[in-house]
Amino acid sequence: MFDHAYNSYMDYAYPADELMPLSCRGRVRGLEPNRGDIDDSLGKFDNDIVVSVFETNIRVLGGLLGAHVMADVLKQRGERMQWYRDELLHMAKELGYRLLPAFNTTSGLPYPRVNLRYGVVNPLSRTGTESDTCTACAGTTILEFAALSRLSGDPIFEEHARKAMDVLWEKRQRGSDLVGTVINIHNGDWVRRDSGVGAGIDSYYEYLMKAYILLGDKVYLNRFNTHYSAIMKYISQPPLLLNVHMHNPTINVRSWMDSLLAFFPGLQVLRGDLKPAIETHEMLYQVTKQHNFLPEAFTTEFRVHWGQHPLRPEFAESTYFLYKATGDPYYLNVGQSIVEKLNTHARVPCGFAAVQDVRTGTHEDRMDSFFLAEMFKYLYLLFSEKSQLPINIDDYIFTTEAHLLPVSLSTTQPPCHTNNTEPQAHEDDLFSYSCPSAQTLFPNNPTFAKTIRDSYKYLTGVGRAQQASPDSQKGVYKLKLVAEVSQTPEHEEVVPLIVQLISPPFLGRTVLTAGSAKFGMDLTKQEHGSVPYTACGPIENAVELQGHIALALRGDCMFAAKARRLQEAGATGVIFIDHREGSSSAETPLFQMVGDGEPTNDITVPLVFLFSKEGATLTATLQEHHNVDVLLLPKEKQLGKESPVEKSLASYAHPALLSVPGLDPSTGKQAAQMSLYSKLYVSGQYVISFNLTEVRYQNKFMQLVSFLSVLF
């Protein structure tokens, strides 16, 4: 796969920075339509061109340093590259000097962009007017700059990178120990105060941990441990990682996650904290099962928020680290699924194309360099034995772009002389200074990872866990991938439910297709008779909810959390309505709502899910008629669909049924019991609910007789 991608680049794009895999040509800056900030990762080197300091550092400088290190290894073995005279290191040093003007700020935080020829302050630079940068942009230079200093002997690079890290540490919110997403490079004020582990912050945390590994400086580890404790306290809501407000971290600032946070389980493995790493990784894996790839952003209920997938490697990265830490072949299966989905959905004649929208599978004429640098490297290492590798991989640390730097730099090269930062006091825990060991953490329990995963394997309602069988060759596993509910009998069948409107003027003729839940009352065995709200906060009208079935909008928190909250408030059931405008059961496959990773035996009320079009029909009906009687039941048991009367009424028996006055319990044609159907009404401005207790059969009897005569 690497050869196909790389050879396509060499055949159709070299020496351009990137390949356009659909057009089969190179992307040359200035010759193709401008894509905005994305093009800041493109260069031309000794040209009058403005580039991203962050992207140029991790892609170009990191690539030159990693290539130099590997070239030097081959040369020292005396087998290959005997002609090499540190040319790549000289290029790296030149590039480092071209990036240094970006650090010429009052605070020491770098400008986000620099002109490769004119720097920042030069009138010809066409940059230097920016006032803000992202936290990751300022805090992701220490590995490359420190390595450049220690390999070249010039400490200036490490000094500037350390200064930027120091500023970010000093500007953390002292109450929460979190950092924001965007900071002013001149005065250090926070511009965006949302805090997470995804886009805008991600590699700052990564580089604190890895700076300790590469450089042996405990200052970085102490800082990372302090931040990590805050992350696990506020941002980690297993299996989710949600952005919070840095000054008030008990408040979630959004209900979606971006795909860049997929690196975080791998970082947790480096720290030795395997349980939350397994939990979040499994959640991400379930999302890829649902959408083939990780969407650029997805909601807390695992629906697409932004549909793009630019072939990001972070999920493969975490898969590799988890396999190395646990030795669990499950992660080989995950890697196999990544390989097969790339070949099936991204491979094109001239390389691999990014996915423009995971919902449609359409391609984008783009193949970023990180795809070559990271994706295939992690996959190759995942499936390789140590003895098959030309180097000892444990002697190196991966940069955020998966370039390899030797950890020997901490001892064989002089450190930066300006390290005067005192270690921060921090309460150590089991993982503060340890490497991961499954045997130490989970002694005599080789299935510990599976035990953790099992709570999350149906999180999105799609698919089953994959089954692996050992092949005759070591390290090779066969597996059968399952992707869509409708495509394989191995999946649990999603039994469609309905919401049937039975009061006049509908008389059972309006039927809304609904999805089921993996928890709560089983409506295939029992039936139940419902302006929506999210139910993610305190229930303000709990008194009105007593004895009713509530309608709630999907979103902002998980189904199980809503169900528990409404059940505790006294609701006897819940109908969820999709918050995504335009969704319908005709166009979107039904899925089963799943739990939140915690036991759901406590949720006993019936739960159904309506897509937004069906939900709009129900709410519009309520607005017009106010009193609407409905039944919740499996689709095949729809009233009016079967005859004779005996079979219909008998199959709809409910444990809490009431006898209908005037009907003889002993007759077959007029059954003694009929399912209790309920009055749907508007209760204040918050809840539309069923009244299960105020059915007055004296007033309803004539409607029942009329209804039965129409049906039967």
Asked whether the beta carbons of 311 and 369 are under 8 A apart, the reply is no
Average pLDDT over residues 619-643: 67
Average pLDDT over residues 323-347: 95
Q: What is the mean pLDDT of the chain?
A: 79
- DSSP-derived letter for residue 595 is -
Residues 6+ apart with CB under 8 A from 301: 554, 555, 558, 559
- DSSP-derived letter for residue 110 is P
Domains, the chain, with CATH or none: 497-634 (3.50.30.30)
For residue 669, name the pLDDT band (cuts at 50, 70, 90). very low
Summarised one tens digit per residue, pLDDT across range 99-123 is 999 999 999 999 999 999 999 988 8
> What's the half-sphere exposure (Cβ side, CA atoms, 13 Å) at 345?
24
Average pLDDT over residues 627-640: 68
User: Which amino acid, 232?
Assistant: M
pLDDT recorded at residue 549: 73
How many whole angstroms separate alpha carbon 658 and alpha carbon 656?
7
pLDDT recorded at residue 413: 62
Binding residues for Ca(2+): 400
Res. 326: pLDDT tops 50: yes
Average pLDDT over residues 13-32: 91
CA distances from 65 to 46, 76, 149, 232, 252 (A): 18, 16, 11, 33, 39
How many whole angstroms separate alpha carbon 238 and alpha carbon 452?
11
Binding residues: 400
The three-point CA angle 362-577-629 to 5° equals 140
Res. 474: pLDDT tops 70: no
Asked whether the beta carbons of 243 and 198 are under 8 A apart, the reply is yes
pLDDT recorded at residue 54: 96
How many whole angstroms separate alpha carbon 379 and alpha carbon 371?
11
The more confidently predicted of residues 250 and 461 is 250
What percent of the chain has a predicted confidence (pLDDT) above 70?
A: 72
How many whole angstroms separate alpha carbon 614 and alpha carbon 6?
48
Beta strands in 316-403 (DSSP E): 347-348, 351-352, 354-357, 362-364, 396-398
Res. 376: pLDDT tops 90: yes
Asked whether the beta carbons of 95 and 63 are under 8 A apart, the reply is no
CA distances from 507 to 457, 644, 646 (A): 41, 18, 19
How many whole angstroms separate alpha carbon 378 and alpha carbon 376?
5
Res. 675: pLDDT tops 70: no
Res. 136: pLDDT tops 70: yes
Summarised one tens digit per residue, pLDDT across range 480-524 is 222 222 233 333 455 677 676 666 666 566 677 776 676 666 554
Average pLDDT over residues 640-650: 41
Summarised one tens digit per residue, pLDDT across range 259-270 is 999 999 999 999
CB atoms within 10 A of CB 685: 9
pLDDT recorded at residue 459: 73
Backbone region of residue 442 per phi and psi (left: phi > 0; alpha: psi in -120 to 50; beta: other values): beta
**Token digits of residue 544:** 């009105």
Residues labelled catalytic: 55, 202, 296, 314
How many whole angstroms separate alpha carbon 454 and alpha carbon 2?
33
Summarised one tens digit per residue, pLDDT across range 391-432 is 999 999 999 999 999 999 988 666 655 554 454 555 566 666
Res. 347: pLDDT tops 80: yes
For residue 146, name the pLDDT band (cuts at 50, 70, 90). very high
Asked whether the beta carbons of 324 and 336 are under 8 A apart, the reply is no
Q: Which of 19-23, 282-286, 601-605 has the lowest mean pLDDT?
A: 601-605
